[in-house]
Amino acid sequence: MTVHLPAYDRSKLTPGIVHIGLGNFHRAHMAVYLDDLFGMGLNHDWAILGAGVREGDARMRDALRAQDCLSTVIELDPKGKSARRVGSMIDFLPVEPDNAALIAAMARPEIRIVSLTVTEGGYFINPATGEFDPDHPEIMADAADPHRTAFGAIIAALKARKAAGVPPFTVMSCDNLPGNGQVTMAAVTGLAAIKDPALADWIKANVAFPNGMVDRITPATGPRERAMAAAFGLGDDPVPVTCEPFRQWVLEDNFPSGRPAFEKAGVTLTPHVHNFEMMKIRILNGGHATIAYPGGLMDIEYVHEAMADPLIRGLLDKVEMDEIIPYIPPVPDTNLGDYYRLIVERFSNPEVADTERRLCLDGSNRQPKFIVPSIRDALAAGGSVEGLALVSAMWCRYCFGETDSGTVIPPNDPDWDALVVRAKAAKARPAAWLEMAAVYGDLGQDARFAQAFERQLNRLWAVGTAQTLTEYLA
């Protein structure tokens, strides 16, 4: 089997981007777009310096530096797998508690973009208000002992550039968040304002935070993925990435200090990012949340197996068509029905072998972003919320900590222990679940939603997931 190697001289690359958070998604997405550009003979002054601020990032640094910062990316096309070595990252900065090396790198004039993938929950935003949370423990710690978070390091580097008369870099989130540019600006300026309000004002006035929509399904790496890399003759690569063939990136063209020619690698540059973003987050990520918990409760391991179950596929179709898609505004040059059919095809790809457990991960951060906004829009329009209430009830039932068969569910959320306590309380009093203001805000006081949620949770406990789905679809 052939492995495609970088079609350019990596020794001639120079850095233009620092990327914080070298997980699977970045290496299968932004790094691939840049690898494509470099292979066209373009933008060789825009290579990536990898960086991280967490303990796990140090392990990733060791693994990648041992293979010259090359990432193995395997595309899982049902018609045949293909592999490539992505060479767009040329170094990985030391991972340090005070982020000194990261700050120094970001202060260098040739670094014109700092990009991030730090997960949906890594932006210190209060889900109930949608605003930056200055009282978050990590933010309070960073304010007292600065530069420990990614945002603290960004602030320190911007301050150094300002003092040296060097134009600021653009800060580009590649995380899967509504308005990810605004969310990132809120985190950076909110943290800066705690100690230096004048610097926070300068950042607001001078630093660009473009919004972007990113999309590519990238399963977690395990023994299967490592064996796949070995089958391609890549030895014992400990951190290969597998991904679906599909990828999409929609981006605001807001880069005052310059950018690579992203459009030549297939990126859509548009002022209408929010339309694309809402479509993707509601239909794809909301769809993932819809099929995650019934699959988890019914002991289904893989996403494509859940899609083959007529009850789960029926749930997805009904919730999407009745309660999600009708409230999505038009998207330029896109038919929402066609987009949904593409999503179904992508979810059903058996080669990806994405797991239901991965989709169930971190519901406390994902539900407020992917499901709750659709509930609000449906309620405002006077539409049905029965299916979305069922999705929420299945999340609650999952967080009880055991499947319908009695199999124990290992912890699968940063707030797992608290969620289990609340789910157990909700078995007797369903409203206890909706009292999580950080997730639902005031939705628990909406009689239509609260009654639908109670109805569905009670049915899940009375007859189980499969029968509850059968009744809902009937």
Q: pLDDT (tens digit, 0 to 9) for every residue of the chain, 474 residues total? A: 789 999 999 999 999 999 999 999 999 999 999 999 999 999 999 999 999 999 889 999 999 999 999 999 999 999 999 999 999 999 999 999 999 999 999 999 999 999 999 988 889 887 667 788 888 889 988 888 888 899 999 999 999 999 999 999 999 999 988 899 999 999 999 999 998 999 999 999 999 999 999 999 999 999 999 999 999 998 889 999 999 999 999 999 999 999 999 999 999 999 999 999 999 999 999 999 999 999 999 999 999 999 999 999 999 999 999 999 999 999 999 999 999 999 999 999 999 999 999 999 999 999 999 999 999 999 999 999 999 999 999 999 999 999 999 999 999 999 999 999 999 999 999 999 999 999 999 999 999 999 999 999 999 999 999 999 999 999
- Alpha carbon distance 371, 392 (integer Å): 8
Residue with tokens 């066609």: 338
- Alpha carbon distance 83, 63 (integer Å): 18
**Which residues on adjacent β-strands are paired with residue 115?**
19, 172
- Closest residue by Cα to residue 68 from 95, 50, 82: 50
Joined together, the tokens standing for residue 270 give 């548009």
Q: Is 166 exposed, middle or buried (0-12, 13-18, 19+ CB in 10 A)?
A: middle
- Grouping H, G, I as helix, E, B as strand and the rest as coil, residue 116 is strand
Amino acid in the structure at residue 169: F
Residue with tokens 């049915």: 459
Q: Is the pTM of this model over 0.85?
A: yes
Residues in the chain, total: 474
87, 46 Cβ separation under 8 angstroms? no
Joined together, the tokens standing for residue 439 give 């997730």
Residue 258: left if φ>0, alpha if ψ -120 to 50, beta else—which one? Answer: left
Backbone angles phi, psi at 170, to 5 degrees: -85, 140
